[in-house]
Chains A and B, each alone.
Chain A
C-alpha cells in the first residue's frame, strides 16, 4: 500500500542530513537534474501568470487612471475603496448571496459525485460502467453560454421544465424571474454539469484500493454495505478531505459567468454575488480600483478559509494539504 516514491525519499534524507543545505542542494541537483528541469516551466508559469500580475493589485489602494504609464504615479487613497464597499448598500446582500449559493452548492453538490463514484464502483459490468461514465462527462464539455441558454429556455413561461412543473401545481411564471428559485436552479444545473467530471478523482482513488482487503473482508463475512463503510470509504477518505479543504478555500468564489448569464434585475436580490458585482463595477463602469479592492477582499477571505479548514482537518483527521 505504501507508495514507493514516498519511501525512497524518506530513506535518502538521513544520509543527506549531516552536510550543509547548499551542498545537499547541489548533490540533489546533480542527481535529479531531469526532475528540476521539468519543474522550470511550471515555476515560470506561476511567476509570470499568477505572481507578476498580483503587483497590479496595488491599484486597490489607489485612484487608478489607466493613462498613467507607471502604476506608482496613481493617487494613493489607502483603504478608501474598501470602506466604500463595506459601507455600500449592497455589501451584506452580496456576502449573503455569495455564501448562500456557495454553501448550497457545497452541501448538495459535494456528496453527489462521491455517491456517484461509489455506485459506479459497485457495478461489475465494465462496459456499462464505461458508457455511464462517458455520458456523465458530457455536460462538462458544453459551453457555459449554451448551458445557460438551455436553462433559460427550459424555465421560460412555455419552457418544458416550466410546463412540467405547472402540471404539478407550479404557477407557470418564468422560473428565472422568481428570486426564490434562482439558487435551486443554479445549484441543480451545476450538479448536472459537474457530476461526472467531479467524480473522476474519486473513481481514480477507488481503483487504488487493494482488492485483497475486499477478499479478506468477504471471507470474514462482511456484507457489501459493510465493505463499503469499512473499506471503500476509509480508502478514499483522504481524497474526500482534500477536495473538501480546497472547496472551502473557494467558498467565497462563485464564478460570475453563470450568474451574469442567468440573472436579471428581478433576481439581483438572490443572484448578485461578489464576482458579478466586481464585473459590473470594473468592466461595465470602469471603476477599476474599486472592483480590484472588492476582488482582493474576496481573495483574502478565501485564503483565510483555506488555512482554517486545513488546520481543522489536520486536528481531526490527520490529513492536510500543507
Chain B
C-alpha cells in the first residue's frame, strides 16, 4: 500500500513546491549574499578618482543620495516640485539626480553602501550614518578628503571657517582634515530645539506651576491622570535615548556615554544614581503615569496621544512638536489647547539642570563627496554655494519677491510662507521655497530665519527654557574616532545597548526586580564598557588638544 501511495501526484507536487521554497530560503547564505555578489559582477572597472580632480567633461549632473524628508517638500517625489531646488540648480549650474529615501533610512543607506564603490553617488548626505562617522568613512575609502580642494573650489566655506575659529575647530578632524560640508547653526539659540513639553492649559486648570523637580513631575502627572483623564500622562519613546536622559540626569546619571564632572568620559547606566532613576520610573509606570504601551508605541501613536488628550507630557521638538500641535488644535477650532516647554527636571529646587538637548553648532553629519565622484570641482562648487552671500539668502529666505521681501532692511517672509494660500503651514511652505528648515548641509542657518519660523510665543519661550542647563559640560562633543576605535567601540556598544535596552525596560515595567541592579552593572562591566570608554576618552583627549 505504501508503495502505491508514494506515487500519488499530490505528493510529488507537494514535494516539488515545498522543496523549491526551502531550497531558496534555506540554503542561500543570507540576505547579504546577493548584495555581495553584485559587487563582484561589476569587477574590473575600478574607479581611481581619489586625489585628482577630473577635467570638466561638460557633464553637470550630480548624483545625490539623501532623505526625502530633507531634500523634498513633504508628499513630493521630484526635484522639480521644489522651487528652492530649482533655483539652487539654476544658480549653481548643476542638475541634481536625487535618490530620495524614506522609511527605514539607515537600512537603505547601508544597502546603498553594500553596493560597492561603483554604486556610490557623487554626494552623500547624513555622513554620520557610516559606522564611526565621517572619519571612519574616509579611512575606509568611501568619502574623499576635501582639504586639498577647499581653497580653490570652496572659497566661501573657507572664508566662513577663517572668520569663525570655533566652527573651524568643530569641523577639522584630529589631523586637520575637512571631510564634510555642514549645516552651521549661526546662533546658540538655534541649538536647543528639542525638550520636554507639557499641557499648559491643564497646568493652569489644575492650579499647578511649571514642574521643576522630580517631585513636581510626579504631582503633575498624577494630577493629569486623576483630574484631566489622561490615560498615558507621560509618553516616551523607548528607542530614543533622550526620553530617558532628561529624567536620569536629575540623579547624576545618564542614558548615554557622557562627560562626568571630572571631565572624563563615563557610561550613564552604570552610575549609582541610575538605580534611583529606575526606582522612580518603575514607580511611575506602576502608577500608570507612563504610557503603558510605550515599548510598542510609535511616533504616530505618541502624537495621537498628545493631541487627543490621552497624554499631557512628552519630549519633542519646538517646530514639529509645539508648533505643529498648537496649530493643529487651532485649525480644529480648539482655542484652549496649549503647550509649554519646561526645563529638564532636577532633584532639589534651585539646582541647575545637568543636561538638556543641544545640537552641535556644526558637525560632520552633513554632506560629503564620495570616492566615486568624477567631477569633484563641480560638487565642491555646488556645496560651497550656500556659504556665499547670494546662496545664504536662497537657503534661508528663498527668492526675493516670491518667498520674502526686504522690510526695514530685513528679509521678511511673504504670505506665501506665513499664510499660505494653499493652506500649507509655514513649515510646509518653507519646505518648498527655502532650505534652512530642512536641508542638512552646505549653508549657515540664520537667526533671522529662525525667529520667523518660530512664530508662536510658546516656541520662543521654549527654546529659551531648554537652553538653560549645564548640558555643554556633559554632552560628548563631536569628536572623531579612528576607524579602529569605532570598530572596537561599535562592537562593544552594540552588545551593551542590546543588554541595557532590554534590562532597563524590564526594570521600569517591573519584570525584573531592582535588587538585580548590581548584577546589571557588573554584566555591563563584564561586556567591556571600560574599553569602549577608553576609545571615546582617547578621541575626546585629541579633540580637546586641537
Contact = CB atoms under 8 A, between A and B. Distances in A.
B110 A286 contact: yes
Interface residues on B, range: 35 or more
A21 interface: no
Interface stretch (B250-258, B346-354, B504-512): B504-512
A245 B82 CA distance: 57
Contact of B7 (A2, A64, A282): A2
B295 A174 contact: yes
Interface string A256-267: 000000001110
A284 interface: yes
Interface string B107-124: 100110111111000000
Interface residues on A, range: 35 or more
B396 to A, nearest CB: 35
Interface in B3-22: 3-11, 13-15, 18-19, 22
Nearest to B232: A157
B131 A176 contact: no
Contacts of B115: 66
Contacts of B401: none
Given A53-B34, A264-B238, A266-B502, A3 B40 contact: no
A89 B2 contact: no
B208 interface: no
B29 A296 contact: yes
Interface of A is mostly: helix
Interface stretch (A121-129, A201-209, A214-222): A201-209
Interface in A27-70: 46, 49-50, 52-60, 64-70
Interface of B is mostly: helix
B502 A238 contact: no
A118 interface: no
Nearest to B495: A89
B296 interface: yes
Contacts of B511: 177-179, 266
Contacts of B209: none
Interface string A281-306: 11111101001101110010011001
A296 B494 CA distance: 21
Nearest to B25: A253
A283 B111 contact: yes
Interface stretch (A12-20, A102-110, A134-142, A314-322): A314-322
A144 to B, nearest CB: 15
6 contacts: A46-B23, A54-B33, A57-B33, A69-B42, A69-B117, A158-B231
Contacts of A238: 2, 5-6, 8, 11
A147 to B, nearest CB: 15
B29 A57 contact: yes
B501 interface: yes
